[in-house]
Amino acid sequence: MTQERFIAADWGTTNRRLYLIEKGEVVWTERDDLGVAARPDFEGEIGALRARFGAMPILLAGMVGSSIGWRETPYVPAPADLKALAAQCFNVGEGVHIVPGVALVGAGRADVMRGEEVQILGAAAAGLVPADALLIQPGTHSKWAEIRNGVLTRFTTAMTGELFGLLRQHSILASALTHRVDANEAFDRGVREGLLRDLSASLFGIRAAILTGGLDPKDASSFASGLLIGAEVAARLGDYEDGAAYILADAQFGALYAAALAIAGREAHIIDSHAAFLSGIIRIESLLP
């Protein structure tokens, strides 16, 4: 049912973002690093929100519903819409619900998401993207999702961001990947190399190019990021042959993926991921049984 006021949380692995929503508008929001990986005291955190804002419904989405979260909430199978998510929210009690993730099973491959489904279906419901569209959510585990008539039909996750982090922190390339990533000429060159989908060799090529003077070390981070994103884009665009791509991302990630898509010859638009999340979570709240 539609409440006058409720609290929503996009509660991920590393961070959480809280929203106080009144009559469909955000009146307060806050982001902190109390993601589920920080093993927060979930009951205590809910109590603190209640103490601060008073008694009201609370709706949580993201990894909070995973096996490493608070209460494991079974996945809804794709194709999935907002109604299915609302119908299968986990009722923790005392007005707290957790939105389920979405699982894709069959057709020879499996995939899962938790949290992204709220943005994806919210973006479609709000008209931020067409009812038939390809959406991209860059990140540690990038999602490429197809909606048909506003329904989430299929999706693929690429662990591009995680691979970049591993390379930066722990690999032989770590000492070369210390600079900031920019959507510059080195990034573009990385994308073009990445489109060849020869990741394992192209990555070693960064070391070889630095050793032989073919790559300025200050360009290595941007080149490597372009390489990984280019390989991701090349592998995924074959799955989605037509139409523009809609990138749900902050400005920096959005610019990188938009640049990579342009090089791959695909039109792209950057969409406000916060607006998409709010659209989704407000609709799910209104559809709760």
CA atoms within 13 A on the CB side of 195: 14
List the Cα angle 212/161/242 in 5-degree steps.
100
Closest distance of CB 243 from a copy of itself, Å: 20
Encoded tokens for 169: 């922190």
If the CB atoms of residues 21 and 220 are measured against a copy of itself, the closer one turns out to be 220
One symbol per residue from 62 to 101: x for binding a copy of itself (CB under 8 A), - otherwise; what is it?
-------------x--------------------------
What character string, x for contact with a copy of itself (CB under 8 A) and - otherwise, covers 178-197?
Answer: -------------------x
Contact 247, 254 (CB under 8 A): yes
Distances (CA, A) of 129 to 27, 120, 269: 25, 9, 9
Could you tell me the smallest distance in angstroms from the CB atom of residue 133 to a copy of itself?
19
Q: 286 by DSSP, 3-state: which?
A: helix
Task: Note whether 103 binds a copy of itself by CB under 8 A.
Answer: yes
Could you give the string, one character per residue 210-249, with x where binding to a copy of itself holds by CB under 8 A and - elsewhere?
A: -xx-x-------------x--xx--xx-------------
Contact call for residue 119 and a copy of itself (CB under 8 A): no
> Does the footprint of a copy of itself cover residue 162 (CB under 8 A)?
yes
Question: How far is residue 64 from each of residues 97, 144, 247, 283, measured CA to CA in Å?
Answer: 11, 22, 24, 19
Query: Can you tell me the distance from the alpha carbon of 50 to that of 68, in angstroms, rounded to the nearest whole number?
Result: 24
Nearer to a copy of itself (CB atom), residue 149 or residue 178: 178
How many other CB atoms are there within 10 angstroms of residue 110's CB atom? Answer: 9
Residue closer to a copy of itself by CB (options 39, 109) is: 109
Provide the 3-class DSSP secondary structure of residue 30. strand
Choices 54-62, 162-170, 248-256, 279-287 (CB under 8 A): range interacting with a copy of itself = 162-170
Provide the minimum distance between the beta carbon of 187 and a copy of itself in the complex, in angstroms, as a whole number.
Answer: 17
Taking CB under 8 A as the binding criterion, the range among 81-89, 91-99, 106-114, 146-154 that sits at the site for a copy of itself is 106-114
Q: CB nearer to a copy of itself: give 57 or 230.
A: 230
Looking at the DSSP assignment, which residues form a beta bridge with residue 25? 22
Pairing assessment for the beta strands 268-271 and 245-248 based on DSSP bridges: parallel
CB closer to a copy of itself, 110 vs 251: 110
Query: In angstroms, rounded to a whole number, what is the distance separating the alpha carbons of residues 150 and 269?
Result: 18
Give whichever of 52 and 218 is closer to a copy of itself, judged by the CB atom.
218
Which of 126, 205, 255, 274 is the binder for a copy of itself (CB under 8 A)?
A: 205
List the one residue out of 185, 183, 188, 186 whose CA is nearest residue 254: 183
The conformational region for residue 107 under phi > 0 = left, psi -120 to 50 = alpha, else beta, is left
Applying CB under 8 A, which residues contact a copy of itself? 75, 103-105, 109-112, 141-142, 156-160, 162-163, 166-167, 169-172, 197-201, 203-205, 207-209, 211-212, 214, 228, 231-232, 235-236
